[in-house]
A and B are shown apart, each in its own frame.
Chain A
Amino acid sequence: MTPLQVIFLITAAVTLVAALAVVTRQNLVHAALFLVLSLFGVAVFFVLLEAEFLAVVQVIVYIGAIAILMIFAVMLTRKVASDDTVAANRNAGWAGLIAAGLFFILVIMLSAWSGFYTQAAELSRPGVDTADLGQAMLVELGEHLVSPQAYVIPFEVASVLLLAALIGSLVIAWPRIKKEA
């Protein structure tokens, strides 16, 4: 076992246990904190996959924004989030069966695929030595996001989507002012 494999296995175990706690914990504040742990594990996987920028974005966007938003929502709806209610609905048995069945079907279908045991090739760019590789990849990513030959339209659409989500969530969550009858 190489050190990388050991790191992978530890991170995978922590992430999956935290994910299980997210979907089974009665107390939603605890579930949200386990969600933070699970998202952090995913950030470690991005580092292992040599996508360091995505790891940083994962920490900022998911842990810094989305998880905190979740905790705020849990606290604003505090009464129902308390521990005395049952967390799972009456379909929980079926849900577990479907999830486990889907997992086994996925693993069986993937193991039949010839590329399943592919090893990663060395990450390289022509004319760039390994010390500058991270910066070169980041520059390439940024150029692809704003280049008309690549992804400028999805990039602009994403910005419009975020603006629409911002305005939409403001409108939806705005407190209704009582009109006189």
Chain B
Amino acid sequence: MIPLSWYLIFAAALFCIGLYGVLARKNAIAILMGVELMLNAVNINLVAFWRYLAPQRIDGQVFAIMVFAVAAAEVAVGLALVISVYRRRHTVAADEIDMMKW
């Protein structure tokens, strides 16, 4: 059988890859993709902990569904912001969007 450790190590690796994407990518859409990877890693952890430590309750799956809802809201607003910025500045490179930099 698969021990819990495999899922935790996999989720940690996926989270760190997403973190690298958020920190290193120039394009704002690519940064959002990194955030999606991180949210997925968190979801795997939530469901794995539910399955291994508290399978007699259903709460772990409820938490994962809340993460789904928040991720959908986040990506909709994020991409709307990206498209709005692109329309005004003709760029989506995160280091060129510096209107609010003092």
Contact = CB atoms under 8 A, between A and B. Distances in A.
A153 B14 CA distance: 31
Given A120-B52, A144-B59, A32 B33 contact: yes
Interface string B43-83: 11001101111010011011011101111111111011111
Given A49-B51, A165-B72, A85 B40 contact: no
Contact of A49 (B48, B74, B86, B92): B48
Contacts, number: 253
Majority DSSP secondary structure for residues of A touching B: helix
Majority DSSP secondary structure for residues of B touching A: helix
A110 to B, nearest CB: 5
Nearest to A65: B72
Contact residue range for chain B? 35 or more
A175 B30 CA distance: 23
A173 interface: yes
Contact residue range for chain A? 35 or more
A23 B34 contact: yes
Contacts of B86: 76-77, 80
A60 to B, nearest CB: 10
Contacts of B43: 42, 54, 58
Given A66-B36, A80-B91, A117 B10 contact: no
Contacts of B7: 45, 49
A98 B8 contact: no
A172 B81 contact: yes
Given A54-B65, A99-B19, A120-B51, A158 B26 contact: no
23 contacts: A5-B2, A23-B20, A23-B25, A39-B40, A45-B44, A49-B7, A49-B48, A49-B50, A58-B43, A62-B40, A66-B72, A66-B75, A85-B26, A87-B27, A88-B26, A92-B24, A102-B15, A115-B4, A116-B3, A116-B8, A120-B2, A161-B73, A175-B87
